[in-house]
Structure 1
Amino acid sequence: MTTCDSTSVGILITDHRGRYLVVERATLPHGTAPAAGHIDDHGRSEDAARAEVEEELGLTVTGLTRITGGWRENRCRWLPGACGTGHEWTVFQAAVSGELVPSARETRNVRWLDADTLLDLADRTVVHAQGQLSGAEFEAAPGIEPVWIRWLVDVTAIHISCDDLLRVEQVTR
């Protein structure tokens, strides 16, 4: 099994109507989220962001702006790396071009979500973090991937209470 390099990128893509491009992860960790992945052998975080958008969505990145990031104690499907369980994240806003061609291996249910629907999915993640929704129920009909709640709060795409944010952060570990 692969050992995690403890570095990740996330790529927020919006359209001219302000909708967010999201996928349901076909692999662990479960949830709905923007494109993301490990930096691995991609070199720089910008290179990884471009590669992940191409791999997951079939789109070409035409512009990248770093919008948030930092260390998150979130699990992944790989063995923990030298830094333990978690990742140093760099989250970008990306401009893209091309035709959306999602990866069947990495993604399911790729779609554009308006801000209200994004918040509804975040609320489902909060309900899961509060213990009112089992892991199996969350996997069957996922909310936002827990690690993404913080990033979406940081960029004011969603708003949740500080208490709920802390609860969600507990389930990322």
Structure 2
Amino acid sequence: FPFGFAPPAGHVDDKGGFEEAAREEVQEEVGLSPINIKLVTEGRKDNRCRRKGGDYHYWKIYKVEAEGKLKPSEDETKQAGLYTKDQIKNLSERTARYLDGEISEEDWQNSPGIETVWYEWFKELEII
């Protein structure tokens, strides 16, 4: 919830600010140590959240260079991996078909693409 593949992300809460939250989420979710971080875009996106009244988020998207061995969090991560641009493109094409109603909810749950909010960001950033 929301369902699909996504880069590490999370709420700022008590993490001291957006950049610190980004660093901590990379460490917490996939076990990598950020060594270089750069803000690439920001803005509001309507997307659901588990929190009460959570129907949008204000995002700051960072490009992160990290080191270490991939070690996914058992609590926060269902599946982690390093994906090529072609793999991201294929997952994004699946998301587009889901959004167009060509893929049922059941099929999506069994084999998702990129989370819909990340699909929007990847298009804006011209990653896909």
TM-score range with shorter-chain normalisation? over 0.9
| SS in structure 1 of the partner of residue 81 of structure 2 | strand
Distance (whole Å) between structure 2 residues aligned to residue 80 and residue 43 of structure 1:
23
User: Which consecutive unaligned segments of at least 5 residues does structure 1 have?
Assistant: 1-27, 159-173
Normalised to the residue count of structure 1, the TM-score between the two structures is 0.70
Does residue 117 in structure 1 map to residue 98 in structure 2?
no
Distance (whole Å) between structure 1 residues aligned to residue 104 and residue 12 of structure 2:
31
Does residue 29 in structure 1 map to residue 2 in structure 2?
yes
| SS in structure 2 of the partner of residue 110 of structure 1 | coil
The answer on whether the counterparts of 2:72 and 2:79 sit within 8 Å (CA) in structure 1 is no
Does residue 52 in structure 1 map to residue 28 in structure 2?
no
The answer on whether the counterparts of 2:2 and 2:48 sit within 8 Å (CA) in structure 1 is yes
Determine which of 37, 59, 63 is the counterpart of 1:64.
Answer: 37
Distance (whole Å) between structure 1 residues aligned to residue 50 and residue 97 of structure 2:
23
Does residue 152 in structure 1 map to residue 125 in structure 2?
no
Amino acid at match of 1:55: E
Does residue 106 in structure 1 map to residue 76 in structure 2?
yes
Normalised to the residue count of structure 2, the TM-score between the two structures is 0.94
CA RMSD of aligned residues (A): 1.2
| SS in structure 2 of the partner of residue 122 of structure 1 | helix
Distance (whole Å) between structure 1 residues aligned to residue 122 and residue 88 of structure 2:
9
Distance (whole Å) between structure 2 residues aligned to residue 113 and residue 79 of structure 1:
33
The alpha-carbon deviation at position 97 of structure 1 amounts to: 1.4
| SS in structure 1 of the partner of residue 60 of structure 2 | strand
Amino acid at match of 1:46: E
**Matching residue of 2:104:** 134
The alpha-carbon deviation at position 108 of structure 1 amounts to: 2.2
Amino acid at match of 1:77: R
User: Which consecutive unaligned segments of at least 5 residues does structure 2 have?
Assistant: none
| Residue correspondences, number | 128
